[in-house]
A and B are shown apart, each in its own frame.
Chain A
Amino acid sequence: MVTGNRVAIVGVGYSTVGRNTGLSPDELMIQATMASLADSGLTVRDIDGITSVGTEPLNDAWMLGIEPLNWWASGLMVPAFAYSALSAIAAVASGFCHTALALRMIQQQPSGASMAAGTAARGNPMVASYFAAAAGDRQFLSPFGAGNPTQWAGLLTQRHMAEFGTTEEQFGHHVIAQRYHASLNDDAIFRDPLTMDEYLASRYVSKPLRILDCDYPVDSGAAVIFTTEERARDLQKPVVLVESYALTAIRDLNFEILEDMVRTAPAESARSLWSRTDLEPSDVDTAHLYDGFSVITFQWLEALGFCPPGGAGPFVEAGNTRLGGSLPVNTDGGACNVGRRHGANFCIEATRQLRGECGERQVEGADVSVWSTAVGPFAGAVLLTRG
């Protein structure tokens, strides 16, 4: 349990999510924020802190009409929504602000085809860095034909297979289970059932990593409102409490030259998470584990102690992570199916599970949920309980 104020989640919301929405970052931010406010019953005047990965908090506050803002933070090379959420939790717990809006705004990244054609870099600074002359650390990647995230994910996947005997079919079981969950989620983009044959027939992007192992690039805005338990008790939705949290970095940013590709930041994050609570892995009812690439979910399953090190493949293959299994994982369908939201979807789905709002995909008696973001050099995780 955290010291200082006990922190609660009181509002969650998304913008319109999709390919080529034409929405600006400001529009995505406003839409997501308004949805989270409506969910909480708060108004914008109740917010006094903003943290964002993907937009500039001072501009966000200005656009929302928040004045004064008592606290703000933003990050670039961070574990995405975990960083937003953990910053907000720390700010509310410390009393720096009383009600913090945590944001993750994403503008869809260009396709591999447009990158191969050399047309993708226009207007996108992150992608432009792949094309510009390879300066700085990128001179040890781009000239070698390396440096795309799918490629480091391929390296992590291959190492998991080489070290533990994990099979391509086991990754397929994970992808198929997530798709099944998505079929029960009206918000999911991909909802058609998927078979193992279809998974195994899908193309490799960076073998053994397949296109179906990758999250789906979209424009998306997500917002979560954190406040004190005391304030949360007066609001309209069931209270969801932050039980424990961890934000961990183990090295600098070079995923491709990690010294140990199967025990990365999630392992240390999990150690930190469990050290701050009396709860144990066996207490968790639903898990929402980052799935930018399938192997990341496998690393989190092992790191958090849901299965032995290297045991994620058999654990998933046995059906544990499917609805009805011992530990339903990524019940919203995951970012492969709901679109890339860099962990915000997992915080939101964990919250909805604990509130009992998940309809057909609701896990009966869900009292404890964990969600996580990122892999490799840095990671974060949050353990939530029904208040």
Chain B
Amino acid sequence: MSSTEPSAKPPMPVPDELTQFFWDGVARHELCIQRCQTCGHYIHYPKTICRFCQSRDLAGERVSGKATLYSWTIATQPFHPFWVDKIPYTLATVELVEQPRLMFMSQVIDCPEEELEGGLPLEVAFVEMSSELTLPLFRPARG
């Protein structure tokens, strides 16, 4: 069952013209979110045009990495070989502080299940999931 060994490769992101900035940011350990340069709205997932003002002047900008926890679920079943030896892990929808309802899907780490609660302050952490993949995950904010 070679496909279920821990060495299984993660599903790798395929950056495109719209998303290259995001993964370039991750490589620098910076969380970057698309922002409309005309009206200032952050946009996620990235689009080719601003849905608030229809501007095409969009760019990835570094954000603070601070967020609050909106909802979470403990993944107890893997749906890909890479995650077989990593369950359970905590998937989370977090709200980035830069803009109300600017939601981001990630994981929460370094937090016991009983301490998970709505509104929990979080901060980004860059975690090497494999030699090929680093992800922006979130952990309880320190101070």
Mark A residues whose CB is within 8 Å of B: 112, 115-119, 130-131, 133-137, 139-148, 150-151, 154-159, 162-163, 203-209, 254, 256-259, 261
Contacts and interface: CB of A to CB of B under 8 A. Distances in A.
B96 to A, nearest CB: 11
Given A130-B80, A145-B107, A146-B105, 16 more contacts: A115-B79, A118-B81, A133-B11, A133-B12, A134-B12, A140-B44, A143-B12, A144-B105, A145-B91, A151-B91, A154-B74, A154-B75, A158-B72, A162-B71, A257-B93, A261-B71
B11 A143 contact: yes
B40 interface: no
A262 to B, nearest CB: 9
30 contacts: A115-B79, A115-B80, A116-B77, A116-B79, A116-B84, A117-B81, A118-B4, A130-B11, A135-B13, A135-B16, A139-B13, A141-B105, A142-B13, A142-B80, A144-B135, A145-B82, A145-B91, A146-B91, A146-B105, A151-B75, A154-B74, A154-B75, A155-B71, A203-B76, A204-B74, A206-B75, A207-B88, A257-B44, A259-B103, A261-B70
Nearest to A210: B76
Contacts, number: 140
Given A130-B11, A257-B93, A257-B104, A118 B16 contact: no
Contacts of A118: 3-4, 8, 80-81
A145 B13 contact: no
Contact of A139 (B15, B75, B81): B15
Interface string B78-103: 11111110101101010000000101
Contacts of A208: 73
B52 interface: no
Contacts of A155: 71-73, 91, 93
* Shortest 9 CB-CB contacts between residues of A and residues of B: A154-B73, A139-B13, A207-B74, A257-B103, A142-B11, A159-B71, A259-B101, A118-B3, A135-B14
